[in-house]
Chains A and B, each alone.
Chain A
Amino acid sequence: MRQALEKEIQAVTGRFLEMVAAVREMTAEATEALVKGDAELAQKVIKKDREVDELELAIEDEVIAAIARHQPVASDLRFFITILKAVTDLERAGDYAAHVAEDALLLAQEPPLKKYVLLPQVGERLLEMLDEVAKAVAERDLGAARRVLELDEDIDDMYEQLTRELFTYMLEDPRTLSKALTLLRVARSYERLGDHLENIAERVFYWLTGKLVS
């Protein structure tokens, strides 16, 4: 019985890691599309969002079936509940990556407002967060979950910097308004993406410790 449950936990973990990998691909490609003004790549990201949506539904089904079959308790139950809730956040994270790609499509039609410096750094930081989320779940690593929370603070700080920089452009030259507003939305999408990853890390923390993040 225990062995069957363990196998089910591994399978669900595997599917979840696949979903994290898909969102990571979307995030990396959305950032690349933005920086390079690559409309084709942006389209690819938008299409991938459907894959992520399908993975969410499939994982939900598997988790519900597993709970019904094994009636897990304690940390096993917390694991399934964690995944059930985390996929919703992950799906939302994928949506935000798709939003970045949609805005990258808009921005690709004209020359850039300026060379993007901070935005790709935010993108890289999000990839690090996704790597840590995957590590936390795959290796049941509390340290990795904590690092996700720390990294999200960096994202929030960078978002603040970006907002200020973009406001400067808008104040200086009203012609930049439309592009700056689009970039502001991109920054906002990144920031929200980070928040959803933070939610996942908090759930993982609860799964591994049985306690809420203080």
Chain B
Amino acid sequence: MRDVWDAAFEGVLLHREGRIEALNAAAARLLGVEPERVVGLPLIHALRDRRLLRLSEAGGEAVLEVRGRRVRARAVPGALFLIEAPEDAEREALERLRHELRTPVAAIRGLLEVLPGLEPQEAAEVLAVLRAESERLARLVEEGVYAPAVPPYALDALRPRIERVLPEAKNLRWAVPGVRLRVDPDALFQILLNLIENAYRHGRPPVRLVGGVKGERFFLEVQDRGPKIDDYEALFAPGARGAQSARARGSGLGLAIVRRIARSFGGDAYGRRVGDANAFGVWLPPELWLRG
């Protein structure tokens, strides 16, 4: 009986006279409590939420955010039933997808209409835009990766911005091929700022910003002449600090944030040893950059 009770998908919490009598494993998981520490205590000890408390007292049904999850709760006298409410998350995702698709689809239709009347040179450009856009949309549909449409720009456009915020970046050597980028410039700016600042703070000069193409990916990395690091990957964990930075002030979150942003647009962040330099960088998927 006990096994069945704990194997149930639905969380069940039984109570009498305002006190917790029992709760199964699913309820304990959804409420984030250890059953043995709350059984026998007043309801609020496990619920910790005034809406849930009111619901268990008055009875009824509601969808609420509980400990960061959307939970459907149903209360009858003496019992509270809880289950995760994923249908809301799905509905939200669908709504976002619809929103994301509306504008680009309109733009594609507009471009298709003007295409027959264009000179070959212009037509080729329009086709390149159409191709990139359709690839971005395919990715959005297949993987749910969010990538807002951005007019192509050169990386140099971010340079004044970076130098204004990080004066030491004026000594930064740029070695980036002439690609045009379609990644959200604010996101890329945030990434570069973290990487460049890390290199100046924890690495050794000279610091270089190096770009390169490998297959369908565009790589952008910041290199410095710091000593070899044992485990590059470990530095991407939130709160990680390198041996060089143990005494330095600051976050330990920089690389974790870089990775989170890079992954949010379908790329990733990495660290590696190149010759006598340490390199930390990101790569962009094909729909976020154009050659030449």
Residues of A within 8 A of B (CB): 10-11, 13-14, 17-18, 20-22, 24-25, 28, 114, 124, 127-128, 131, 134-135, 138-141, 150, 153-154, 157-158, 160-161, 164-165, 167-168, 171-172
Please give the distance in Å from A3's CB to the nearest CB on chain B. 13
B252 near A: Cβ within 8 Å? yes
Contact of A168 among B42, B68, B161 (CB under 8 A): B161
Check A134 against B239 for contact (C-beta < 8 Å): no
Pick from B34, B37, B48 the residue with the most CB of A within 10 Å. B48
A134-B48, A164-B165 provided; 7 other pairs, C-beta below 8 A? A10-B41, A13-B45, A18-B53, A135-B48, A154-B253, A165-B190, A172-B164
Check A171 against B33 for contact (C-beta < 8 Å): no
Check A25 against B46 for contact (C-beta < 8 Å): no
Please give the distance in Å from B249's CB to the nearest CB on chain A. 10
B38 near A: Cβ within 8 Å? yes
Please give the distance in Å from B260's CB to the nearest CB on chain A. 9
Given A20-B48, A172-B161, the answer on whether A131 and B32 have CB atoms closer than 8 Å is: yes
Check A161 against B253 for contact (C-beta < 8 Å): yes
Please give the distance in Å from A169's CB to the nearest CB on chain B. 10
Please give the distance in Å from A115's CB to the nearest CB on chain B. 9
Check B45 against A14 for contact (C-beta < 8 Å): yes
Please give the distance in Å from B13's CB to the nearest CB on chain A. 14
Check B38 against A161 for contact (C-beta < 8 Å): no
Q: Which of B26-50 contact A (CB under 8 A)?
A: 32-34, 37-38, 41-42, 44-46, 48-50
A124 to B68, CA, bound (A): 8
B170 near A: Cβ within 8 Å? no
Residue on B nearest A131 in the bound complex, by CB: B67
Check A168 against B165 for contact (C-beta < 8 Å): yes
Check A171 against B164 for contact (C-beta < 8 Å): yes
Please give the distance in Å from B213's CB to the nearest CB on chain A. 28
Residue on A nearest B34 in the bound complex, by CB: A139
Q: Which residues of B contact A28 (CB under 8 A)?
A: 65
A90 to B9, CA, bound (A): 35
Residue on A nearest B43 in the bound complex, by CB: A14
A127 to B49, CA, bound (A): 12
A13 to B251, CA, bound (A): 35
Check B193 against A164 for contact (C-beta < 8 Å): yes
A76 to B41, CA, bound (A): 17
B113 near A: Cβ within 8 Å? no
Check B253 against A158 for contact (C-beta < 8 Å): yes
Q: Which residues of A contact B257 (CB under 8 A)?
A: 161
Please give the distance in Å from A40's CB to the nearest CB on chain B. 18
Residue on A nearest B197 in the bound complex, by CB: A164
Residues of B within 8 A of A (CB): 32-34, 37-38, 41-42, 44-46, 48-51, 53, 65, 67-68, 161, 164-165, 186, 189-190, 193, 238-239, 250-253, 257
Please give the distance in Å from B279's CB to the nearest CB on chain A. 22
Q: List 22 A-B contacts (CB under 8 A).
A: A10-B41, A13-B45, A14-B45, A18-B50, A20-B48, A21-B49, A28-B65, A135-B33, A138-B38, A139-B37, A139-B45, A141-B34, A154-B238, A157-B252, A160-B250, A160-B251, A164-B165, A167-B165, A168-B164, A171-B164, A172-B161, A172-B164
A26 to B169, CA, bound (A): 42
Please give the distance in Å from B200's CB to the nearest CB on chain A. 14
Check B45 against A138 for contact (C-beta < 8 Å): yes
Please give the distance in Å from A28's CB to the nearest CB on chain B. 7
Check B50 against A21 for contact (C-beta < 8 Å): yes
Check A17 against B65 for contact (C-beta < 8 Å): no
Check A10 against B165 for contact (C-beta < 8 Å): no
Residue on B nearest A21 in the bound complex, by CB: B50
A10 to B45, CA, bound (A): 9
Check A153 against B48 for contact (C-beta < 8 Å): no
A168 to B193, CA, bound (A): 11
Check A14 against B193 for contact (C-beta < 8 Å): no
A13 to B67, CA, bound (A): 19
Residue on A nearest B261 in the bound complex, by CB: A117
Q: Which residues of A contact B190 (CB under 8 A)?
A: 165
Q: Which residues of A contact B186 (CB under 8 A)?
A: 114
Q: Which residues of A contact B51 (CB under 8 A)?
A: 25
Check A22 against B50 for contact (C-beta < 8 Å): yes
Contact of B165 among A17, A157, A171 (CB under 8 A): A171
Please give the distance in Å from A118's CB to the nearest CB on chain B. 9
A11 to B23, CA, bound (A): 21
A128 to B34, CA, bound (A): 17
Please give the distance in Å from A45's CB to the nearest CB on chain B. 14
A85 to B46, CA, bound (A): 23
